[in-house]
Amino acid sequence: MALIAAPESPLLSSEPGNLIAKHSYKYSSTINGQKALGIKPQEKGALIVARKTKSPINEWNKGFAKTQVTGGKRRAYKSTANVVSTTRPDLLKPSVARVSAIYASQNPKKDAPVKKVRGNKA
Note the pLDDT tens digit of each residue in 66-110. 999 988 999 999 999 999 998 889 999 999 999 999 999 999 889
Going from N- to C-terminal start, the domains of the chain cover 10-106
How does DSSP assign 89-120, residue by residue?
GGGHHHHHHHHHHHHHHHSPPPPPPPPPP-ST
What architecture does CATH give domain 10-106? 2-Layer Sandwich (3.30)
pTM for the model stands at 0.79
In percent, the amount of the chain with pLDDT more than 90 equals 40
First CA to last CA distance, the chain = 59
For residues 108 and 95, what is the distance between their CA atoms, to the nearest angstrom? 22
Which of 32, 6, 5 lies closest to 19 in space, CA to CA? Answer: 32
Which of 64, 59, 67, 73 lies closest to 102 in space, CA to CA? Answer: 73
User: Between residues 96 and 31, which one has the greater pLDDT?
Assistant: 96
